[in-house]
Structure 1
Amino acid sequence: MIELKNIGVQFSGRDILKDVSVMFHPGEIIGLVAPNGTGKSTLMNVIMNYINPNNGKVILNNTLEYTNKKNEVKIHQLVSMMPDQSDLYNQISGKEHLKIYSSMWSSNTKLIDYTIKELGMTSYINKPTGTYSLGMRQRLCFAMQIVSDTQVMLMDEVMNGLDPTHVELISQILVKKKSEGKTIIVASHLLENLEKYADRIFFMKNGELILINELSPGFEQREITTVRVIGMLNNIKENFTKVFPETNVKVLPNDITLIDVRGYDSRELGHIVEFLKENQLIEFSVGKVTLNDLYSMYYQEV
């Protein structure tokens, strides 16, 4: 378990992180979502002690804190951050990189060959990384963190440069690591993908962490909360509010209309669907608000 307690970071008089207090538990995947420059990387760097917060502290397993160099070494044996592609050495092979990371964290060396096979890297893993494509380098960075086998894993844009097949593959590996009791914190802009596997998702704004479920109650549950409509013209929206005056309607900047149907029974829901069909609106879905919807509502309001 890792706890952030009253973490504050200020740069040039501006709050990058403001009194952030949260716990991340074993066997949990945490998603961090926000536009660039809003504090995601800063938060991870504080967890790694690469940035010293102006106030607050990081606590690992209820006891360990960054109070001295000895404790920092202990924490870094349990917490790792996925390397960046700029950290790779072009002249040595991918397998050598994996051996270095396995040695640094004293992990089981059998994990190296297993990870190579699991990520489909066998055909190029013994070649110098300078010959790798963007996607191959990204998979190697991910593999390096996996072979470190730490209790807590931090990943900033882990899916960057990957094709859909490898995005899905890495997502499956993350879920597997979660089942092993790892705490995984992922910052990502691939919202549809993140929504599939993250247990809790936080938005970041004005230096604060906001749990998605607080913005949209019931988001984490599998229940019908929303009818999403594409291309609903203004005159139809006006007519809709007359026919259904008690129903909340939200229009997003991306031309999606969200109709809030939380608590509606099948009869009430049927009336709304019938209205949409009568007005030749066929591009709609019944389910729940998506993470993309919430992102648009929270960060791109007009």
Structure 2
Amino acid sequence: MIELKNISVRFSGRDILKDVSEIFHPGEIIGLVAPNGTGKSTLMNVIMNYINPNSGKVILNDWVEYTNEKNEVKIHQLVSMMPDQSDLYNQISGKEHLKIYSSMWYSNPKLIDSTIKELGMASYINKHTGKYSLGMRQRLCFAMQIVSDTQVMLMDEVMNGLDPTHVELISKILVKKKSEGKTIIVASHLLENLEKYADRIFFMKNGELIHVNALSPEFEEKEITIVRVAEVPDMLKEKISKEFSKISVQHLPNGATLIDVRGYDSENLGNVVAFLKENQITQFSFGKVTLTDLYSMYYQEV
């Protein structure tokens, strides 16, 4: 378990993190979502003690804090951050990188070969990383994080540069690690993917960490709550708003329109469909509010 207690960070008179308090539990994947420059990386660097907060503290397992060098060593045996591609040494092999990370964290050496196999890296793992493609380098960085086998794992844009097949593969590995009791914190711009596997998702804005359920309680609902219309001509937006004036209609900055149909029976849903078809609107679907919808509502301007 890792606890953030009243963490504040200020740079050049601006609050990057403002009195952030949260507890992240074992067996939990936490998603962090925000535009660049809003504090995601700063938060991770505070957890790693790469940045000293102006106030507040990080507490691991209810008692260990960054109060001295001895405690920092203890925490860094239990908490790791996925390396950046710029951290790779081009003149040594991928396997050597994995051996280094395994030895640094005293993890089981058998994890090296099993991780290579799981990520499909066998064909290039013994080559110098200077010959790797962007996707190969990213997979290696992820593999280095996995072989460290720490209790808490921090990952900033883990899916960067990966094709859909490897995005899905890494997602499955994250879920597997969660089942082993790991606490995993992932910052990502791949919202649809993050929504599939994260247990809790937080937005960051104005230095604050905000649980998405606080913005939209229906986000976690499993039943149909909205009709989503992909693209609505401007001249029809007002007509839709008037037709459904008794319920919520939201025209999002990303171009989508959401019609709130919570509690609607099949007859009322049929009336919505009939209205859309009468107005030559055929690109619509039934579902619930998505993370992409919330991102558009919260961060983008019309």
Normalised by the size of structure 2, how large is the TM-score?
0.97
Q: Distance in 2 between matches of 1:202 and 1:145?
A: 22
* Structure 1 residue 126 corresponds to structure 2 residue 122: no
Tell me the amino acid that sits aligned with residue 191 of structure 2.
L
Q: How many residues align?
A: 302
Q: Deviations over 1:103-146 (max 9, x none)?
A: 11111110000000000000010111111111111000000000
Distance 1:191 1:35 in 2: 12
Amino acid at match of 1:172: K
| Corresponding residue for residue 256 of structure 1 | 256
Which residues of structure 1 form unaligned runs of 5+? none
Is structure 2 residue 16 aligned with structure 1 residue 21? no
User: Match for residue 175 of structure 1?
Assistant: 175
Question: Is residue 98 of structure 2 the alignment partner of residue 105 of structure 1?
Answer: no
Mapped to 1, the partners of 2:71 and 2:165 lie a distance apart of 40
The alignment's C-alpha RMSD in Å is 1.1
Give, in whole Å, the separation in 1 of the partners of 2:233 and 2:86: 48
SS of the counterpart of 1:214?
helix
Quote how far apart the aligned CAs of 1:214 are.
1.0
Distance 1:141 1:165 in 2: 17
Alignment of 1:34 onto 2:54: no
Residue 10 of structure 1, CA deviation: 0.1
1:265 partner letter: D
State how far apart, in whole Å, the 2-side matches of 1:231 and 1:83 are: 40
Q: Distance in 1 between matches of 2:222 and 2:82?
A: 31
SS in structure 1 opposite 2:228? strand
Q: Which residue number corresponds to residue 265 of structure 2?
A: 265
Amino acid at match of 2:118: E
1:270 deviation in Å?
2.4
> Using the alignment, how far apart are the partners of 2:76 and 2:279 within structure 1?
60
Q: What amino acid is aligned across from residue 272 of structure 1 in structure 2?
A: V
Deviation at 1:231, TM superposition (A): 2.3
CA offsets, 1:192-238, max 9 Å, x none?
11111111111100000111111111212322121110222344333
TM-score (normalised: structure 1): 0.97
Equivalence for 1:239: 239
Q: C-alpha separation between the residues in 2 aligned to 1:85 and 1:242?
A: 52
Judge which range, 289-298 or 146-155, deviates more: 289-298
Contact 2:135 2:161 in 1 (8 A): yes
Which range moves more in the overlay, 14-23 or 268-277?
268-277
Deviations along 1:156-195, one digit per CA (max 9) or x if unpaired, are 0001111111111101100110111111000011111111
Greater mean deviation of Cα atoms: 287-296 or 229-238: 229-238
Q: Distance in 2 between matches of 1:181 and 1:12?
A: 39
Partner AA of 1:180 in structure 2: E
The 5 A counterparts of 1:153-192 are 153-192=153-192
Q: After TM superposition, which residue ranges in structure 1, 4 or more long, deviate above 3 angstroms? A: none
The answer for the alignment partner of 1:286 in structure 2 is 286
**CA deviation string 1:257-284 (max 9, x = no partner):** 1112223333322221221122121100
The structure-2 alpha-carbon separation of the partners of 1:127 and 1:282, relative to structure 1 and needing over 3 Å to count, comes to same
